[in-house]
């Protein structure tokens, strides 16, 4: 059962905006909402070039000029409890979308501290602030939506991956923090009746995406004439999801919160839900690379006669990596009437065209 959440006139806090997914979500909200306030909160860290975050913030601010919705940007760290409490006290958000996190599987091997700080302490601060939003009988937070990840499935052999699969064997610290978020959210939903929905995103890509992700870093390496490493000798399948599909999914999910109800014990049944959002058509890594190459040539980023064979090296599996990701998004379809449907060719074309305009 879903509780309809009206977004107009509401205050929506989006942490991790102007990160990749956060910025695109905020732009969509600014276009759709008739009134209200959106708060973007981000520490603008330099995990990748912060200029890209400034660029996305510029687009957000430009969009806000033509929107009836007020936009506020706060530069800050979700691991700073006092700051988070101040933000909740000052703005009383009705909806919270927590996307701020240290992302990336490989980076978590050499930089574990920042994952604990942002993904665990930061998320805990958000949960605590949601809990106290109901103090003194205030309406408080109507829906907490937060990012989880397909990486929680680790080396899951059963495909497609379903949220009912057992995911107790993470193969990276990043995955362990994301699974922990789901567990923490469940306990807070049960104890404090916070309607919460976790979303397991599957490899999100698109214009102004993350430079640490394969399609983006491969593009830059090929331009520099360097060699791209193809992991697991190319025997990887990824369920890639175009950014607009992810935003559509989040946008719908925000507006339907798990309904509150009381169980036989007289205590709340946790208003808790979890969904996959993924394309549902895993692509062979080699096919994905061929399409990327084609689109880079079509966008005239690379010449027609570029020798791609010379610029690739097949290497073994990396620690923390998984050979396959494949989303079962049936529940999202049933509950929100939506399945991601943007094709890789179209998505990579959009990326290549954006890249050309951004760099030239
Ligand atoms: N892009 C994907 O393929 C993908 C897949 C699965 C899950 N996710 C999750 O989705 C969310 C958004 O990912 P994204 O791709 O937009 O990444 P991103 O790195 O572009 O965005 C995350 C933003 O959070 C900010 N941030 C990090 N730690 C923070 C902190 N402690 N306080 C405040 N801000 C902080 C960063 O500066 C960044 O702008 C993340 O939680 C990520 O783990 C992304």
Sketch the domain layout of the chain as residue ranges. 2-205+240-281+325-341
Catalytic residue among 115, 146, 153, 174: 174
Please compute the mean of the pLDDT values over residues 9-29 and round it to a whole number. Answer: 98
Please tell me the distance between residue 251's alpha carbon and the centre of ligand 1 in angstroms.
17
Measured between alpha carbons, how far is 114 from 100 in angstroms, rounded to an integer? 12
pLDDT interval class at 320 (50, 70, 90):
confident
DSSP secondary structure string, 83-149? HHHHHHHHH--SEEEE------STHHHH-HHHHIIIIIIHHHHHHHHHHHTTGGG----SEEEEEEE
pLDDT interval class at 318 (50, 70, 90):
confident
Q: Which atom of ligand 1 is nearest to the CA of 53?
A: 39
Measured between alpha carbons, how far is 92 from 39 in angstroms, rounded to an integer? 11
Please compute the mean of the pLDDT values over residues 65-70 and round it to a whole number. Answer: 97
Measured between alpha carbons, how far is 278 from 326 in angstroms, rounded to an integer? 7
pLDDT interval class at 101 (50, 70, 90):
very high
Cβ atoms 159, 324 nearer than 8 A: yes
pLDDT digit string, tens, across residues 128-141: 999 999 999 999 99
The pLDDT value given to residue 157: 87
The pLDDT value given to residue 23: 99
Please tell me the distance between residue 43's alpha carbon and the centre of ligand 1 in angstroms.
11
pLDDT interval class at 155 (50, 70, 90):
confident
- The proportion of the chain whose per-residue pLDDT surpasses 70, expressed as a percent, equals 100
The pLDDT value given to residue 279: 87
Q: Which atom of ligand 1 is nearest to the CA of 204?
A: 3
Average pLDDT, the chain: 96
Q: Is 47 a catalytic residue?
A: no
User: Closest by alpha carbon to 299, among 214, 217, 219?
Assistant: 219
Q: Which atom of ligand 1 is nearest to the CA of 79?
A: 31
Please tell me the distance between residue 98's alpha carbon and the centre of ligand 1 in angstroms.
9
Q: Does domain 2-205+240-281+325-341 have CATH number 3.40.630.10?
A: no
3-state secondary structure of 344: helix
Please compute the mean of the pLDDT values over residues 113-126 and round it to a whole number. Answer: 98
Measured in whole angstroms, how far is the alpha carbon of residue 222 from the centre of its chain? 26
For residue 323, pLDDT beyond 90: no
Measured in whole angstroms, how far is the alpha carbon of residue 256 from the centre of its chain? 18
For residue 360, pLDDT beyond 80: no
pLDDT digit string, tens, across residues 172-223: 999 999 999 999 999 999 999 999 999 999 999 999 999 999 999 999 999 9
**Taking CB atoms and a 6 Å cutoff, what residues make up the pocket around ligand 1?**
15-16, 19-22, 42-45, 53, 77-79, 99-103, 118, 122, 147, 149, 201, 203-204, 210
pLDDT digit string, tens, across residues 302-314: 999 999 999 999 9
Question: Alpha-carbon dihedral of residues 182, 184, 186, 187, nearest 10 degrees?
Answer: 170
């Amino acid at each position: 059962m879903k509780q309809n959440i009206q977004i107009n006139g509401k205050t929506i806090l989006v942490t991790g905006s102007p990160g990749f997914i956060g910025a695109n979500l905020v732009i969509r909200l600014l276009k759709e909402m008739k009134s209200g306030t959106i708060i973007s909160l981000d520490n603008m860290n330099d995990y990748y070039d912060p200029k890209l975050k400034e660029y996305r913030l510029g687009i957000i601010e430009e969009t806000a000029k033509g929107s009836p919705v007020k936009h506020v940007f706060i530069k800050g760290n979700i691991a700073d409890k006092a700051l988070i409490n101040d933000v909740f006290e000052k703005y009383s958000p009705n909806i919270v979308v927590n996307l701020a996190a240290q992302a990336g599987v490989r980076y978590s091997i050499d930089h574990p501290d920042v994952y604990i700080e942002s993904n665990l302490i930061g998320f805990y601060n958000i949960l605590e602030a949601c809990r106290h939003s109901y103090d003194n009988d205030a309406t408080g937070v109507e829906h907490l939506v937060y990012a989880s990840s397909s990486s929680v499935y680790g080396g899951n052999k059963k495909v497609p991956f379903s949220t009912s699969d057992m995911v107790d064997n993470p193969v990276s610290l990043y995955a362990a923090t994301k699974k922990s978020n789901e567990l923490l959210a469940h306990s807070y939903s049960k104890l404090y009746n916070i309607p919460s929905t976790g979303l397991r995103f599957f490899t999100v890509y698109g214009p102004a995406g993350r430079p640490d992700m394969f399609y983006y870093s491969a593009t830059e390496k090929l331009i520099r004439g360097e060699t791209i490493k193809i992991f697991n000798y190319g025997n990887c399948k990824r369920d890639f999801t175009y950014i607009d599909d992810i935003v559509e999914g989040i946008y719908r999910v925000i507006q339907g919160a798990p309904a509150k109800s009381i169980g036989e014990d007289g205590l709340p049944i946790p208003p808790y839900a979890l969904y996959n959002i993924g394309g549902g058509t895993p692509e062979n890594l080699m096919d994905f690379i061929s399409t990327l190459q084609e689109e880079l040539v079509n966008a005239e980023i690379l010449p027609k006669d570029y020798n791609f064979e010379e610029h690739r090296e097949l290497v073994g599996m990396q620690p923390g990596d998984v050979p396959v990701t494949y989303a079962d998004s049936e529940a999202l379809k049933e509950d929100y009437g939506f399945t991601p449907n943007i094709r890789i060719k179209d998505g990579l074309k959009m990326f290549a065209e954006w890249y050309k305009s951004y760099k030239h």
